[in-house]
Amino acid sequence: MPPRITVGAGKEIQVTLPIVSRVSTRSVAPADRIDFWEEHNRRALVGLTCSSYSQEGLLAAETNVDLGDVRLADISGNEHVVERTPRTCQSLPKDSIFVTLLTAGCGVFFHEGGCVTLRTGDLILYDTRRPYLFGFPSPMRQLLVDIPREVFVAQCAPGEVSAPILLGTGSAAEGAQASALEAVLAGWATGRGGEDSLSIQATVLDLVRTLAAPKLGGSAPPAVLSQLAVAKDFIARHLADPALSPGRVAGAIGVSPRHLSRIFQPTGVSPSRYILEQRLDKARQVLADPGSRHLTIAEVAHCWGFASQAHFTRVFRSCFGCTPGETRPFIT
Protein backbone atom coordinates (compact mmCIF):
# COMPACT_ATOMS: atom_id res chain seq x y z
CA MET A 1 0.00 0.00 0.00
CA PRO A 2 1.35 3.50 -0.80
CA PRO A 3 1.94 5.63 2.30
CA ARG A 4 -0.78 8.00 3.53
CA ILE A 5 0.35 11.44 4.59
CA THR A 6 -1.35 14.42 6.15
CA VAL A 7 -1.31 17.57 4.00
CA GLY A 8 -3.52 19.77 6.15
CA ALA A 9 -5.58 19.51 9.29
CA GLY A 10 -7.67 16.39 8.89
CA LYS A 11 -6.78 15.93 5.22
CA GLU A 12 -4.93 12.83 4.12
CA ILE A 13 -3.89 11.80 0.63
CA GLN A 14 -2.24 8.72 -0.78
CA VAL A 15 1.23 9.34 -2.15
CA THR A 16 2.81 7.19 -4.84
CA LEU A 17 6.41 8.18 -5.47
CA PRO A 18 7.56 7.73 -9.10
CA ILE A 19 10.47 5.47 -8.12
CA VAL A 20 12.79 4.60 -11.00
CA SER A 21 15.14 2.33 -9.07
CA ARG A 22 15.94 1.24 -5.53
CA VAL A 23 19.04 -0.82 -4.74
CA SER A 24 21.28 -1.79 -1.84
CA THR A 25 24.64 -3.54 -1.71
CA ARG A 26 23.78 -5.42 1.49
CA SER A 27 22.44 -8.42 -0.42
CA VAL A 28 25.53 -8.51 -2.67
CA ALA A 29 28.64 -10.51 -1.82
CA PRO A 30 31.26 -8.14 -0.30
CA ALA A 31 33.75 -8.84 -3.08
CA ASP A 32 31.20 -7.84 -5.74
CA ARG A 33 29.78 -4.72 -4.11
CA ILE A 34 32.04 -2.15 -5.79
CA ASP A 35 31.39 -3.53 -9.28
CA PHE A 36 27.65 -3.71 -8.54
CA TRP A 37 27.56 -0.11 -7.29
CA GLU A 38 29.54 1.27 -10.22
CA GLU A 39 27.37 -0.55 -12.76
CA HIS A 40 24.14 0.56 -11.10
CA ASN A 41 25.22 4.21 -10.99
CA ARG A 42 26.44 4.07 -14.58
CA ARG A 43 22.91 3.09 -15.65
CA ALA A 44 20.82 5.03 -13.13
CA LEU A 45 22.75 8.22 -12.31
CA VAL A 46 26.31 8.87 -13.45
CA GLY A 47 29.41 6.92 -14.43
CA LEU A 48 32.03 6.84 -11.68
CA THR A 49 34.60 4.69 -9.93
CA CYS A 50 34.25 3.81 -6.27
CA SER A 51 36.57 2.77 -3.44
CA SER A 52 35.72 1.62 0.07
CA TYR A 53 38.02 1.61 3.08
CA SER A 54 35.69 -0.21 5.45
CA GLN A 55 36.45 -3.75 6.58
CA GLU A 56 32.82 -4.55 5.77
CA GLY A 57 33.21 -3.37 2.22
CA LEU A 58 30.86 -0.90 0.61
CA LEU A 59 27.46 -0.77 2.32
CA ALA A 60 25.37 1.64 0.28
CA ALA A 61 21.78 2.17 -0.81
CA GLU A 62 20.21 4.41 -3.44
CA THR A 63 16.68 5.36 -4.46
CA ASN A 64 16.12 7.28 -7.69
CA VAL A 65 12.88 9.17 -8.28
CA ASP A 66 11.79 10.74 -11.55
CA LEU A 67 10.07 14.13 -11.19
CA GLY A 68 9.71 14.88 -14.88
CA ASP A 69 12.61 16.95 -16.20
CA VAL A 70 14.81 16.29 -13.18
CA ARG A 71 15.65 13.28 -11.06
CA LEU A 72 16.17 13.03 -7.32
CA ALA A 73 18.43 10.46 -5.65
CA ASP A 74 18.56 9.48 -1.99
CA ILE A 75 21.99 7.95 -1.37
CA SER A 76 23.41 6.57 1.88
CA GLY A 77 26.53 4.58 2.68
CA ASN A 78 29.45 3.91 4.95
CA GLU A 79 32.87 5.49 4.46
CA HIS A 80 33.83 5.50 0.76
CA VAL A 81 35.08 7.58 -2.16
CA VAL A 82 33.51 8.12 -5.58
CA GLU A 83 35.48 9.61 -8.44
CA ARG A 84 34.67 10.87 -11.90
CA THR A 85 38.03 10.93 -13.64
CA PRO A 86 38.82 12.73 -16.92
CA ARG A 87 38.78 9.35 -18.63
CA THR A 88 35.37 8.52 -17.13
CA CYS A 89 34.00 11.88 -18.26
CA GLN A 90 35.04 11.00 -21.81
CA SER A 91 33.96 7.34 -21.87
CA LEU A 92 30.73 7.81 -19.88
CA PRO A 93 29.56 11.36 -20.72
CA LYS A 94 26.93 12.98 -18.52
CA ASP A 95 25.72 16.52 -19.19
CA SER A 96 23.98 17.53 -15.98
CA ILE A 97 24.27 19.88 -13.06
CA PHE A 98 24.13 18.11 -9.70
CA VAL A 99 22.92 19.80 -6.54
CA THR A 100 23.82 17.72 -3.50
CA LEU A 101 22.54 18.21 0.04
CA LEU A 102 24.59 16.36 2.64
CA THR A 103 22.07 15.32 5.32
CA ALA A 104 24.41 13.14 7.39
CA GLY A 105 28.15 12.85 7.79
CA CYS A 106 30.81 15.03 6.18
CA GLY A 107 32.62 15.07 2.88
CA VAL A 108 35.51 16.49 0.90
CA PHE A 109 34.95 17.45 -2.73
CA PHE A 110 38.15 17.61 -4.82
CA HIS A 111 38.11 19.36 -8.18
CA GLU A 112 40.55 20.91 -10.63
CA GLY A 113 40.81 24.16 -8.67
CA GLY A 114 41.14 22.75 -5.14
CA CYS A 115 38.78 21.19 -2.64
CA VAL A 116 35.64 22.01 -0.68
CA THR A 117 34.87 20.60 2.77
CA LEU A 118 31.22 19.85 3.47
CA ARG A 119 29.41 19.39 6.76
CA THR A 120 25.94 18.08 7.45
CA GLY A 121 23.41 20.49 5.96
CA ASP A 122 25.71 21.90 3.26
CA LEU A 123 24.58 22.23 -0.35
CA ILE A 124 27.00 22.02 -3.27
CA LEU A 125 26.36 22.53 -6.99
CA TYR A 126 28.71 21.07 -9.60
CA ASP A 127 29.03 20.10 -13.28
CA THR A 128 29.19 16.39 -14.18
CA ARG A 129 31.25 17.16 -17.31
CA ARG A 130 34.16 18.16 -15.08
CA PRO A 131 36.26 15.62 -13.14
CA TYR A 132 35.80 15.38 -9.38
CA LEU A 133 36.39 13.15 -6.39
CA PHE A 134 33.90 13.06 -3.53
CA GLY A 135 35.13 11.40 -0.34
CA PHE A 136 33.16 10.47 2.76
CA PRO A 137 35.27 9.54 5.83
CA SER A 138 32.25 8.43 7.89
CA PRO A 139 28.71 7.11 7.32
CA MET A 140 26.83 9.54 5.11
CA ARG A 141 23.58 10.37 3.41
CA GLN A 142 22.93 12.80 0.59
CA LEU A 143 19.92 14.00 -1.37
CA LEU A 144 20.99 14.71 -4.93
CA VAL A 145 19.13 16.65 -7.64
CA ASP A 146 20.12 15.68 -11.20
CA ILE A 147 19.28 18.63 -13.48
CA PRO A 148 19.99 18.14 -17.21
CA ARG A 149 22.06 21.01 -18.53
CA GLU A 150 19.42 22.27 -20.94
CA VAL A 151 16.91 22.44 -18.07
CA PHE A 152 19.41 24.21 -15.81
CA VAL A 153 20.26 26.78 -18.48
CA ALA A 154 16.61 27.42 -19.34
CA GLN A 155 15.16 27.51 -15.82
CA CYS A 156 18.00 28.21 -13.38
CA ALA A 157 21.03 30.06 -14.76
CA PRO A 158 22.71 30.42 -18.16
CA GLY A 159 26.23 30.77 -16.76
CA GLU A 160 28.97 28.15 -16.96
CA VAL A 161 29.57 26.14 -13.75
CA SER A 162 33.37 26.17 -13.98
CA ALA A 163 33.88 25.21 -10.32
CA PRO A 164 31.70 23.73 -7.57
CA ILE A 165 29.57 26.26 -5.70
CA LEU A 166 28.48 26.10 -2.07
CA LEU A 167 24.90 27.35 -1.84
CA GLY A 168 23.29 29.20 1.04
CA THR A 169 26.42 30.58 2.68
CA GLY A 170 26.47 34.18 1.43
CA SER A 171 23.75 35.83 3.52
CA ALA A 172 20.86 35.20 5.88
CA ALA A 173 18.47 35.25 2.90
CA GLU A 174 20.56 32.62 1.11
CA GLY A 175 20.62 30.53 4.27
CA ALA A 176 16.82 30.68 4.48
CA GLN A 177 16.51 29.65 0.83
CA ALA A 178 18.93 26.75 1.31
CA SER A 179 17.01 25.67 4.40
CA ALA A 180 13.79 25.74 2.38
CA LEU A 181 15.36 23.62 -0.36
CA GLU A 182 16.54 21.16 2.29
CA ALA A 183 12.98 20.98 3.68
CA VAL A 184 11.50 20.36 0.22
CA LEU A 185 14.01 17.59 -0.53
CA ALA A 186 13.60 16.00 2.90
CA GLY A 187 9.82 16.14 2.51
CA TRP A 188 10.13 14.34 -0.81
CA ALA A 189 12.50 11.72 0.61
CA THR A 190 10.24 10.88 3.55
CA GLY A 191 6.95 11.02 1.65
CA ARG A 192 5.76 14.08 3.58
CA GLY A 193 5.75 16.50 0.68
CA GLY A 194 2.05 16.29 -0.08
CA GLU A 195 2.63 17.62 -3.60
CA ASP A 196 2.73 16.03 -7.04
CA SER A 197 6.02 15.46 -8.86
CA LEU A 198 5.76 18.48 -11.15
CA SER A 199 5.01 20.81 -8.22
CA ILE A 200 8.06 19.53 -6.34
CA GLN A 201 10.18 19.92 -9.47
CA ALA A 202 8.99 23.49 -10.03
CA THR A 203 9.76 24.46 -6.42
CA VAL A 204 13.20 22.80 -6.49
CA LEU A 205 14.18 24.49 -9.75
CA ASP A 206 12.91 27.86 -8.50
CA LEU A 207 14.97 27.59 -5.33
CA VAL A 208 18.07 26.44 -7.23
CA ARG A 209 17.62 29.40 -9.61
CA THR A 210 17.28 31.84 -6.72
CA LEU A 211 20.43 30.46 -5.08
CA ALA A 212 22.64 29.83 -8.11
CA ALA A 213 21.90 32.60 -10.62
CA PRO A 214 23.57 35.44 -8.66
CA LYS A 215 26.72 33.32 -8.26
CA LEU A 216 26.86 32.71 -12.02
CA GLY A 217 26.65 36.34 -13.07
CA GLY A 218 22.88 36.62 -13.33
CA SER A 219 20.10 38.02 -11.22
CA ALA A 220 17.23 36.08 -9.76
CA PRO A 221 14.72 37.86 -7.55
CA PRO A 222 12.83 35.25 -5.52
CA ALA A 223 9.67 34.07 -7.28
CA VAL A 224 6.43 33.01 -5.62
CA LEU A 225 7.32 29.31 -5.43
CA SER A 226 10.64 29.91 -3.68
CA GLN A 227 9.09 32.53 -1.38
CA LEU A 228 6.32 30.08 -0.46
CA ALA A 229 8.87 27.36 0.29
CA VAL A 230 10.90 29.74 2.47
CA ALA A 231 7.75 30.89 4.30
CA LYS A 232 6.62 27.31 4.94
CA ASP A 233 10.06 26.36 6.20
CA PHE A 234 10.14 29.36 8.57
CA ILE A 235 6.68 28.41 9.88
CA ALA A 236 7.72 24.78 10.41
CA ARG A 237 10.80 25.83 12.39
CA HIS A 238 8.84 28.27 14.59
CA LEU A 239 5.52 26.45 14.88
CA ALA A 240 5.79 25.98 18.65
CA ASP A 241 6.35 29.70 19.27
CA PRO A 242 3.11 31.35 20.48
CA ALA A 243 4.32 34.63 18.95
CA LEU A 244 4.39 33.18 15.43
CA SER A 245 2.10 35.24 13.19
CA PRO A 246 1.70 36.14 9.52
CA GLY A 247 3.33 39.48 10.26
CA ARG A 248 6.38 37.80 11.73
CA VAL A 249 6.61 35.42 8.77
CA ALA A 250 6.37 38.31 6.32
CA GLY A 251 9.11 40.19 8.14
CA ALA A 252 11.36 37.14 8.23
CA ILE A 253 11.20 36.58 4.46
CA GLY A 254 11.33 40.28 3.59
CA VAL A 255 7.86 40.90 2.17
CA SER A 256 4.76 42.82 3.24
CA PRO A 257 1.84 41.01 4.93
CA ARG A 258 -0.25 41.72 1.84
CA HIS A 259 2.35 40.12 -0.44
CA LEU A 260 2.57 37.15 1.93
CA SER A 261 -1.17 36.59 1.41
CA ARG A 262 -0.57 36.58 -2.36
CA ILE A 263 2.25 34.07 -1.91
CA PHE A 264 -0.13 31.70 -0.10
CA GLN A 265 -2.94 32.00 -2.66
CA PRO A 266 -1.89 28.78 -4.49
CA THR A 267 -2.37 26.81 -1.24
CA GLY A 268 -6.02 27.83 -0.98
CA VAL A 269 -5.62 29.07 2.60
CA SER A 270 -4.47 32.29 4.21
CA PRO A 271 -1.14 32.42 6.07
CA SER A 272 -2.93 32.51 9.44
CA ARG A 273 -5.08 29.52 8.50
CA TYR A 274 -2.01 27.63 7.29
CA ILE A 275 -0.26 28.23 10.62
CA LEU A 276 -3.35 27.08 12.52
CA GLU A 277 -3.73 23.92 10.43
CA GLN A 278 -0.06 23.02 10.84
CA ARG A 279 -0.32 23.45 14.62
CA LEU A 280 -3.49 21.39 14.80
CA ASP A 281 -1.98 18.64 12.71
CA LYS A 282 1.14 18.44 14.91
CA ALA A 283 -0.98 18.41 18.06
CA ARG A 284 -3.19 15.69 16.62
CA GLN A 285 -0.14 13.53 15.85
CA VAL A 286 1.08 13.90 19.44
CA LEU A 287 -2.33 13.10 20.90
CA ALA A 288 -2.67 9.98 18.74
CA ASP A 289 0.75 8.69 19.84
CA PRO A 290 0.44 6.21 22.76
CA GLY A 291 3.93 7.25 23.86
CA SER A 292 2.69 10.77 24.57
CA ARG A 293 -0.07 9.86 27.03
CA HIS A 294 1.97 11.30 29.90
CA LEU A 295 1.35 14.79 28.42
CA THR A 296 -1.85 16.53 29.40
CA ILE A 297 -4.02 18.11 26.72
CA ALA A 298 -3.06 21.53 28.07
CA GLU A 299 0.63 20.65 27.71
CA VAL A 300 0.12 19.48 24.11
CA ALA A 301 -1.74 22.69 23.32
CA HIS A 302 1.03 24.79 24.85
CA CYS A 303 3.74 22.81 22.98
CA TRP A 304 2.21 23.83 19.66
CA GLY A 305 1.65 27.50 20.34
CA PHE A 306 -1.95 27.60 21.62
CA ALA A 307 -2.49 30.19 24.34
CA SER A 308 -5.26 28.29 26.14
CA GLN A 309 -6.68 24.78 26.32
CA ALA A 310 -10.20 26.11 25.76
CA HIS A 311 -9.25 27.77 22.47
CA PHE A 312 -7.30 24.69 21.40
CA THR A 313 -10.26 22.39 22.13
CA ARG A 314 -12.67 24.65 20.27
CA VAL A 315 -10.64 24.90 17.06
CA PHE A 316 -9.63 21.23 17.26
CA ARG A 317 -13.28 20.11 17.40
CA SER A 318 -14.20 22.50 14.61
CA CYS A 319 -11.49 21.08 12.38
CA PHE A 320 -11.58 17.37 13.16
CA GLY A 321 -15.12 16.83 14.46
CA CYS A 322 -13.96 15.42 17.79
CA THR A 323 -12.31 16.64 20.97
CA PRO A 324 -8.59 16.30 21.71
CA GLY A 325 -9.44 13.74 24.39
CA GLU A 326 -11.38 11.60 21.92
CA THR A 327 -8.33 11.53 19.64
CA ARG A 328 -6.19 9.75 22.21
CA PRO A 329 -5.90 5.96 21.67
CA PHE A 330 -7.92 3.77 23.99
CA ILE A 331 -5.61 1.63 26.12
CA THR A 332 -7.03 -1.28 28.13
Q: Tell me the per-residue pLDDT of 67-100, one tens digit each, with 9 for 90 and over.
A: 889 999 999 999 999 999 999 999 999 999 999 9
Predicted confidence band of residue 306 (pLDDT cuts 50, 70, 90): very high
Q: Which fold has domain 269-332?
A: Arc Repressor Mutant, subunit A (1.10.10)
Q: What is the mean pLDDT of residues 229-235?
A: 94
- Please give the backbone phi and psi of residue 114, each rounded to the nearest 5 degrees, phi first: 145, -140
Q: Which CATH class is domain 4-217?
A: mainly beta
Nearest to 179 by CA among 171, 278, 268: 171
Three-state DSSP state, 149: helix
Cβ neighbours for 81, distance < 8 A, ≥ 6 positions apart: 50, 51, 52, 53, 133, 134, 135, 136
pLDDT band at residue 188 using 50, 70 and 90 as cut-offs: confident
pLDDT at position 54: 87
User: How many residues in the chain?
Assistant: 332
In DSSP terms, which residues pair with 76 in a beta bridge?
61, 141
CA distances from 152 to 94, 97, 240 (A): 14, 7, 37
Q: Which of 280, 298, 310, 180 is nearest to 233 (CA)?
A: 180
User: What does the mean pLDDT of the chain come to?
Assistant: 88
Q: Is 171 helix (H, G, I), strand (E, B) or coil?
A: coil
Q: What count of other Cβ atoms lies within 10 Å of the Cβ of residue 313? A: 17
Whether 241 has a pLDDT exceeding 50, the answer reads: yes
Residue 66, helix vs strand vs coil:
strand
**For the chain, what is the total number of helices (H) and then of strands (E)?**
12, 14
**Nearest to residue 225, comparing CAs of 285, 291, 177?**
177
List residues bridging with 24 in a β-sheet: 61
What Rg value do the Cα atoms of the chain yield, rounded? 22
Tell me what pLDDT residue 224 has.
85
pTM summary value:
0.82
- Residue 331's pLDDT is 56
Domain ranges of the chain: 4-217, 269-332
Query: For position 330, what pLDDT does the model report?
Result: 66
pLDDT tens per residue across span 136-169 = 999 999 999 999 999 999 999 888 899 999 998 8
For the stretch 14-72, pLDDT in tens is: 445 566 788 999 999 999 999 999 999 999 999 999 999 888 899 999 999 888 899 99
Report helix, strand or coil for 221: coil
The type of residue at 270 is: S
Q: Which amino acid is at 233?
A: D
